[in-house]
Amino acid sequence: MPEQEVTVGQLLLAEYQTIKDEQKTRIGFRDNLLYVTLTVVAAVIA
């Protein structure tokens, strides 16, 4: 059975994709937190 070798480029691309996915998650959470904050401020003012 032939062994598949992972090149440095493939490893870096996989790491890059993982980091981008984590970044998308953080950005989504931050955006939701902003909406929650605006809702709470509006509720306090009302």
Regions of the chain with pLDDT less than 50: none
- DSSP letter, residue 4: P
pTM of full prediction above 0.95: no
| pLDDT for 6 | 85
In the numeric block, which tokens belong to residue 5?
Answer: 């070798």
| pLDDT for 2 | 59
Q: How far is CA 12 from CA 4, 15, 16, 22, 43, in A?
A: 16, 5, 6, 15, 47
| pLDDT for 1 | 55
